[in-house]
C-alpha cells in the first residue's frame, strides 16, 4: 500500500537555557491510506511533538532541525506559508487533547466548522454552510441545526470533542491526527468517541493517527502501533503482533503493568522503576537502559537500531525477547535480569508511566 | 439585545440618575463650604452686596440648597457669576459640544493607533519591531502632553506651513491635530494592554486549533485572537472615554479650544458655583454612561456573559 504520510529521521528540538531539549530525536513514521496508526508513549516521549511537527505547528522556541515529512509526494518542510495553510486542515487535520479549550469561546460552533471549509477550496461558501448540520449529525450530535448556532460553552465536553472531530473531518482530509482525544473525557464518553473515530475511518477512509498513553485505546481502534520513548520509536508493528509478543522491554513492561480482569487475585502488578529521561541530558547507549530489567553490557554504551524482529515488526533492543513468558504466566517470574526491587528504587505506578500507558 | 440586557441597562440608567443627584448635592455643599465667594467686596462693597443679593447668596445655606434642588429638577443651574448674563446649562452644553467633538476624534485615534501598535507588537513579539513599538509606547505615555502637543504643532507647521489645521479651532481641518495630541498618550495605554492581552490569547489552544484548520494569519489574528483579547481590554474603556471627552486643560489651552477642560480649574478658583456643580454632575453622568456602555459591550464580545 502506498504511504500517504511519511516521516523520516525527524528531529524536533527546543533551544532553552539549560541546553537542547531533544523532544523528537529521529522518528520514522509511515501512515498508509485508510490506516489507523497508534502512537503510544508516556508524557515527554515526543508523541505530541511528532504530531505538531507534521503540521509544522511546533510552538516557539521549538524547531524542526532535521528529517523529512512527505505527504502524498509533497515535501511538507519545504512548503511556503500559503502552501502550508492549504495543507493544514485540508490534507491533514488535527484534533487536540482538551476540547474545553480547543474551541474558540466567542464564536458559534457551527461557524467554526464552516470557516474550516471556507478557508479551503474543496467546498463553495454555500456548501460550507449547508454541510455543517450534516457533519454534526455524522458525529451523533442530536438536534444539529440548533446546536450549530450555539456557543462552545453550551456544549458538554464530549460534544465539544465531537464538534472538533466534525471540524477535523469537514474538508475530508486524508489523515486525521488525534492527539489524546479522549484523555480529558470520562470513560463512557471516551468509548463513544473512539467508536466514532473507528466508524469514520471505515466510512470515509480517512487515515487516523491516534496519539495516546492508553494501551486499551490503541487495542481498540489501531491496526498499527508505534511505541515511543525519549523522542524515538522503540518498537512498531501490527497491533495484534505487538500485543501478542512485545519485543522491546519498554512495551513488554507497559503491557504487564495493566491490571487484567482474568488475572488471579493477590498478584503484584509490574511497575517500571525510575523516571523518563531528562531530554536535555539523555543517558548513553540505549535510552531505556536505566529503567530496563533485561540489560546486557552493550545497552550501556551503544544505542541499538530498529531491528526486524518479525515480518513487519521492529524493535530497538539488543535483547531478543523470543522466550519472554507468555502473558498469562505469573509475571513475577518474568524478569530475565533481576532488578533490585527491594532496594528502594523509585517505583512509579502512576497513570503516566506505567499503569495507564 | 436580550430582554435581560434591556432591564439591566434600564436599572443602571436609574442608578446613573441617582448618582448624578448625589454628586450634584455633595458638590453644591462642598463648594459652598469653601471660603471666599465669586465677588470681591474690598473694592466695591455696594456692588458686591448687590450681587450677593441678586444671586441669593445671603440666604441661609438650607434655603439656597432648596432653591438649587428645585431648579436642578427643572434642568436649570442658574447663571454664571463670572460670565455675567450667561446661563450655566447652555454655557456648559456649548463647551461640552467642543469637548465631545474633539473627544470623539481623539477616541478614534486612541483605538486605531492603540490596536494597531498593540496587535503588531504582540504578533511580532521579541523582534526589533516589537522593541521599537514598545519603546514608542513608553515614550507616548511618559512624555508630558504639553511637550507632545507643542512638538506636533511644530512638526505640522514645518511640514505644512500654509495649512490652518495645525493650531486653532472652528474649522473642520483643525480637528485632527489636537485629536492626535489628545489621543496619542491614551493610545499608548491601550497599546500596552492590547499587547499583553494578545500575548496571552495567541498561546491559547483555540488559536492553535485555528492554525491547524488552515486559516489565514489575518483571520486568526483578527477574528480568533483579537476578539478574545479585547474582552479584558474594554474594561478601561469607561474611565478612558470619560478622560478623553472631558478633555485636557493643557491641550485645550495650547490649541485654543473652547472646551470643558479649563472649567475644571477656573470655575473652582473663581467660586462660580453653578458651573462647578454643573461640571461635576456632567462628569458623573459621563462616567456612569461610559461604564454602562462598557458593561453592555461585554455580552456582545463574549457570549458567555449574559445579564439575566
Query: Which domain CATH number covers A51?
Result: 3.40.50.300
In a shared domain, residues B230 and B302: no
Residue A327: predicted pLDDT:
47
What integer is the mean pLDDT of A122-147? 91
Q: Which of B198, B184, B187 is nearest to B124 (CA)?
A: B198
Has residue A140 been placed in a domain? no
* Alpha carbon distances (Å) from A215 to A43, A355, B15, B78: 14, 9, 61, 84
> Taking a C-beta distance cutoff of 8 angstroms, is the pair A25, A11 a contact?
yes
pLDDT band at residue B293, thresholds of 50, 70 and 90?
very high
Would you say the C-alpha torsion B136, B141, B147, B149 has a positive or negative sign? Answer: positive
Q: Which of B197, B200, B213, B215 to mutate to test the interface with A (most CBs of A within 10 A)?
A: B213
Note the pLDDT tens digit of each residue in B145-199: 889 999 998 998 888 888 877 777 888 888 889 999 999 999 999 999 999 999 9
Using a CB–CB cutoff of 8 Å, tell me whether A96 touches chain B.
Answer: yes
Residue B80 clears pLDDT 70, i.e. is over it: yes
Has residue A165 been placed in a domain? no
Residue A208, SS3?
strand
Note down the domain range covering B96.
Answer: 91-264
Using a CB–CB cutoff of 8 Å, tell me whether A53 touches chain B.
Answer: no
**First and final C-alpha spacing in chain B:** 12
Residue A329 clears pLDDT 50, i.e. is over it: no
DSSP B53-111: HHTTTTS-HHHHHHHHHHHHHTT---B-SSSTT-BHHHHHHHHHHHHHHHHHHHHHHHH
Q: Which of A102, A110, A120, A122 to mutate to test the interface with B (most CBs of B within 10 A)?
A: A102
The alpha-carbon radius of gyration of chain B (Å, integer) is 24
In a shared domain, residues A202 and A258: no
Note down the domain range covering A21.
Answer: 3-101+172-228
A102:B227 CB<8 A? no
The alpha-carbon radius of gyration of chain A (Å, integer) is 21
Grid cell 493517527 in the structure block, residue: A209
For B45-60, b/e burial (b = at least 16 CB within 10 A) is eeebeebbeebebeee
In a shared domain, residues B260 and B274: no
Residue A344: predicted pLDDT:
35
Cross-strand bridge partners of residue A175: A92, A207
In a shared domain, residues A78 and A30: yes
Q: What's the CA gap between A351 and A318, in Å, rounded?
A: 28
What integer is the mean pLDDT of A251-260? 82
> Taking a C-beta distance cutoff of 8 angstroms, is the pair B140, B185 a contact?
yes
Q: What's the CA gap between A194 and A222, in Å, rounded?
A: 10
B214:A88 CB<8 A? yes
Residue A346 clears pLDDT 50, i.e. is over it: no
Q: What's the CA gap between B105 and B259, in Å, rounded?
A: 14
Note if the bond before B232 is cis, omega within 30 degrees: no
Q: Which residues of A touch B204 (CB under 8 A)?
A: 101
pLDDT band at residue B274, thresholds of 50, 70 and 90?
confident
A104:B209 CB<8 A? yes
A107:B224 CB<8 A? yes
Residue A144, SS3?
helix
Q: What's the CA gap between A235 and A246, in Å, rounded?
A: 8
Count Cβ–Cβ pairs < 8 Å, chain A vs chain B: 77
* Alpha carbon distances (Å) from B219 to A108, A116, B226: 15, 11, 10
Q: Considering A228, A260, A293, which residue would you say is the last residue of a domain?
A: A228
Q: Which residues of B touch A164 (CB under 8 A)?
A: 209
Question: How far apart are the CA of B216 and the nearest CA of chain A, in angstroms?
Answer: 7
In a shared domain, residues B182 and B78: no
Has residue A298 been placed in a domain? yes
In a shared domain, residues A207 and A320: no
In a shared domain, residues B46 and B103: no
A103:B302 CB<8 A? no
Could you give the number of structural domains in chain B?
2
Closest Cα in chain A to B213: A89
Task: Count CB-CB contacts under 10 A for residue B170.
Answer: 11
In a shared domain, residues A281 and A350: yes
In a shared domain, residues B239 and B99: yes
In a shared domain, residues B157 and B274: no
* Alpha carbon distances (Å) from A67 to A25, A53, A56, B210: 10, 11, 13, 26
Has residue A161 been placed in a domain? no
Residue A110 clears pLDDT 90, i.e. is over it: yes
In a shared domain, residues A306 and A267: yes
A101:B228 CB<8 A? no
Pairing of strands A36-40, A232-238: unpaired
In a shared domain, residues B128 and B253: yes
For B255-268, b/e burial (b = at least 16 CB within 10 A) is bebebbbbbbeebb
User: Which range among A201-215, A325-339, B102-116 shows the weakest confidence by mean pLDDT?
Assistant: A325-339
Q: Which residues of B touch A57 (CB under 8 A)?
A: 208, 211-212
In a shared domain, residues A219 and A314: no
Has residue A284 been placed in a domain? yes
Long-range contacts formed by A336-343: CB under 8 A, 24+ apart: A336/A293, A336/A294, A337/A293, A337/A294, A337/A295, A337/A296, A338/A293, A339/A273, A339/A293
Closest Cα in chain B to A177: B212
Note the pLDDT tens digit of each residue in A282-328: 888 888 888 888 888 888 888 888 888 888 888 888 887 665 554 44
Query: Mean pLDDT: which of A165-179, A269-283, A331-345 is highest?
Result: A165-179
Note the pLDDT tens digit of each residue in B203-246: 999 999 999 999 999 999 999 999 999 999 999 988 899 988 88
In a shared domain, residues A87 and A222: yes
In a shared domain, residues A253 and A220: no
Cross-strand bridge partners of residue A226: A39, A236
Q: Which residues of A touch B213 (CB under 8 A)?
A: 88-89, 93, 115-116, 119, 167
Q: What's the CA gap between A156 and A163, in Å, rounded?
A: 10
Residue B198: predicted pLDDT:
95
A164:B209 CB<8 A? yes
DSSP-assigned letter for residue A62: E
CB within 8 A of A288, min separation 6: which ones?
A229, A230, A234, A248, A249, A250
Residue A37 clears pLDDT 90, i.e. is over it: yes
In a shared domain, residues B293 and B195: no
Which member of A55, A59, A106 has the closest CB to residue B302?
A106
pLDDT band at residue B41, thresholds of 50, 70 and 90?
confident
In a shared domain, residues A323 and A251: yes
In a shared domain, residues A339 and A278: yes
In a shared domain, residues B119 and B249: yes
Q: What distance lies between CA A108 and its chain's CA centroid? A: 29
pLDDT band at residue B144, thresholds of 50, 70 and 90?
confident
B211:A88 CB<8 A? yes
CA angle at A181 for the pair A316 and A21, rounded to the nearest 5°: 45
Q: Which of A33, A81, A340, A352 is nearest to A205 (CA)?
A: A33
Q: Which of A51, A76, A90, A106 to mutate to test the interface with B (most CBs of B within 10 A)?
A: A106
pLDDT band at residue A341, thresholds of 50, 70 and 90?
very low
A101:B206 CB<8 A? yes
Residue-averaged pLDDT of chain B:
88
Task: Give B12 or A19, the one with higher predicted confidence.
Answer: B12
In a shared domain, residues B173 and B66: no
User: Which range among A41-50, A78-87, A335-344, B178-187 shows the weakest confidence by mean pLDDT?
Assistant: A335-344
CATH number of the domain bearing residue B245:
1.10.3720.10
Q: Which residues of A touch B303 (CB under 8 A)?
A: 105-106, 151, 153
Residue A205, SS3?
coil
Could you give the number of structural domains in chain A?
2
* Alpha carbon distances (Å) from A203 to A144, A181, A194: 20, 19, 14
Pairing of strands A62-71, A74-75: antiparallel
Has residue A116 been placed in a domain? no
In a shared domain, residues B243 and B296: no
In a shared domain, residues B282 and B249: no
Residue A333 clears pLDDT 60, i.e. is over it: no
B208:A102 CB<8 A? yes
Beta strands in chain A (DSSP E): 3-16, 19-32, 36-40, 62-71, 74-75, 92-95, 175-179, 207-212, 224-229, 232-238, 272-273, 307-308, 314-315, 347-348
Cross-strand bridge partners of residue A38: A210, A225
Q: Which of B212, B216, B217, B226 to mutate to test the interface with A (most CBs of A within 10 A)?
A: B212
Task: Give A206 or A351, the one with higher predicted confidence.
Answer: A206
What integer is the mean pLDDT of A37-56? 90
A96:B219 CB<8 A? no
> Taking a C-beta distance cutoff of 8 angstroms, is the pair A289, A208 a contact?
no
Cross-strand bridge partners of residue A69: A7
Task: Count CB-CB contacts under 10 A for residue B281.
Answer: 23
* Alpha carbon distances (Å) from A258 to A155, A224, A244, A347, A353: 33, 20, 14, 15, 11
Has residue A26 been placed in a domain? yes
Q: Which residues of B touch A115 (CB under 8 A)?
A: 213, 215, 219
> Taking a C-beta distance cutoff of 8 angstroms, is the pair A187, A195 a contact?
no
Q: What's the CA gap between A131 and A138, in Å, rounded?
A: 10
Q: What's the CA gap between A315 and A308, in Å, rounded?
A: 7
Has residue A235 been placed in a domain? no
Q: What's the CA gap between B247 and B237, in Å, rounded?
A: 15
Q: Which residues of A touch B302 (CB under 8 A)?
A: 105-106
Amino acid at each position: 500500500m502506498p504511504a500517504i504520510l511519511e516521516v523520516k529521521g525527524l528531529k524536533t528540538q527546543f533551544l532553552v537555557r539549560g541546553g537542547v531539549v531533544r523532544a523528537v530525536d529521529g522518528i520514522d513514521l509511515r501512515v498508509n491510506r485508510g490506516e489507523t496508526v497508534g502512537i503510544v508513549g508516556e508524557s515527554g516521549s515526543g508523541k505530541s511533538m511528532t504530531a505538531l511537527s507534521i503540521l509544522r505547528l511546533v510552538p516557539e522556541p521549538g524547531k524542526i532541525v532535521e528529517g523529512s515529512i512527505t505527504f502524498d509526494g509533497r515535501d511538507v518542510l519545504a512548503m511556503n506559508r500559503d502552501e502550508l495553510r492549504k495543507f493544514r486542515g485540508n490534507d491533514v487535520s488535527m484534533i487536540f487533547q482538551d476540547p474545553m479549550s480547543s474551541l474558540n469561546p466567542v464564536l458559534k460552533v457551527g461557524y467554526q466548522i464552516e470557516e474550516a471549509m471556507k478557508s479551503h477550496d474543496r467546498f463553495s461558501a454555500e456548501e460550507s454552510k449547508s454541510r455543517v448540520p450534516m457533519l454534526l449529525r455524522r458525529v451523533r450530535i442530536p438536534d444539529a441545526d440548533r446546536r450549530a448556532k450555539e456557543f462552545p460553552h453550551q456544549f458538554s465536553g464530549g460534544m465539544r470533542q465531537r464538534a472538533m472531530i466534525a471540524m477535523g473531518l469537514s474538508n475530508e482530509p486524508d489523515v486525521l491526527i488525534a492527539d489524546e482525544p479522549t484523555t480529558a473525557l470520562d470513560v463512557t464518553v471516551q468509548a463513544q468517541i473512539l467508536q466514532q473515530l473507528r466508524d469514520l475511518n471505515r466510512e470515509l477512509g480517512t487515515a487516523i493517527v491516534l496519539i495516546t498513553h492508553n494501551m486499551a485505546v490503541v487495542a481498540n481502534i489501531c491496526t498499527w502501533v508505534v511505541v515511543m520513548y525519549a523522542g524515538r520509536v522503540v518498537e512498531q508493528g501490527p497491533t495484534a503482533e505487538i500485543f501478542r509478543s512485545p519485543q522491546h522491554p519498554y512495551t513488554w513492561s507497559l503491557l504487564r503493568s495493566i491490571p487484567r480482569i482474568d488475572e488471579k487475585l493477590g498478584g503484584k502488578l509490574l511497575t517500571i522503576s525510575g523516571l523518563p529521561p531528562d531530554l536535555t541530558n539523555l543517558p548513553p547507549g540505549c535510552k531505556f537502559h536505566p529503567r530496563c530489567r533485561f540489560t546486557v553490557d552493550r545497552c550501556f554504551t551503544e544505542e541499538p537500531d530498529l531491528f526486524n524482529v518479525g515480518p513487519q515488526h521492529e524493535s530497538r533492543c539488543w535483547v531478543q525477547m523470543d522466550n519472554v513468558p507468555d502473558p498469562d504466566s505469573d509475571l513475577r517470574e518474568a524478569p530475565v535480569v533481576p532488578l533490585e526491587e527491594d532496594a528502594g528504587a523509585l517505583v512509579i505506578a502512576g497513570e503516566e508511566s506505567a499503569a495507564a500507558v | 439585545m436580550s430582554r435581560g440586557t434591556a432591564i439591566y441597562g434600564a436599572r443602571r440608567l436609574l442608578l446613573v440618575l441617582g448618582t448624578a443627584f448625589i454628586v450634584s448635592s455633595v458638590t453644591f455643599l462642598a463648594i459652598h463650604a469653601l471660603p471666599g465667594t465669586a465677588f470681591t467686596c474690598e473694592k466695591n462693597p455696594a456692588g458686591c452686596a448687590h450681587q450677593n443679593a441678586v444671586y441669593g447668596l445671603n440666604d441661609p445655606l438650607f434655603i439656597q440648597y432648596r432653591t438649587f434642588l428645585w431648579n436642578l429638577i427643572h434642568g436649570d443651574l442658574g447663571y454664571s457669576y463670572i460670565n455675567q448674563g450667561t446661563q450655566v446649562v447652555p454655557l456648559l452644553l456649548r463647551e461640552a459640544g467642543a469637548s465631545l467633538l474633539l473627544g470623539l476624534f481623539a477616541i478614534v485615534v486612541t483605538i486605531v493607533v492603540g490596536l494597531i501598535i498593540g496587535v503588531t507588537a504582540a504578533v511580532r513579539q521579541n523582534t526589533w519591531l516589537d522593541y521599537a513599538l514598545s519603546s514608542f509606547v513608553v515614550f507616548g505615555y511618559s512624555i508630558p502632553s504639553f511637550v507632545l502637543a507643542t512638538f506636533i504643532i511644530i512638526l505640522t507647521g514645518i511640514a505644512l506651513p500654509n495649512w490652518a489645521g495645525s493650531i486653532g479651532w472652528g474649522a473642520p481641518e483643525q480637528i485632527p491635530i489636537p485629536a492626535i495630541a489628545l489621543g496619542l498618550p491614551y493610545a499608548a495605554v491601550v497599546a500596552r494592554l492590547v499587547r499583553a492581552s494578545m500575548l496571552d490569547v495567541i498561546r491559547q489552544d483555540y488559536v492553535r486549533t485555528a492554525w491547524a484548520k488552515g486559516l489565514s494569519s489575518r483571520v486568526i489574528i483578527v477574528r480568533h485572537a483579537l476578539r478574545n483579547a479585547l474582552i479584558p481590554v474594554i474594561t478601561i474603556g469607561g474611565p478612558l472615554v470619560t478622560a478623553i471627552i472631558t478633555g485636557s486643560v493643557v491641550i485645550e489651552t495650547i490649541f485654543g479650544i473652547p472646551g470643558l477642560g479649563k472649567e475644571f480649574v477656573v470655575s473652582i478658583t473663581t467660586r462660580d458655583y453653578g458651573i462647578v456643580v454643573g461640571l461635576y454632575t456632567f462628569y458623573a453622568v459621563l462616567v456612569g454612561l461610559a461604564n454602562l456602555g462598557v458593561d453592555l459591550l461585554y455580552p456582545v464580545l463574549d457570549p458567555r456573559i449574559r445579564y439575566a
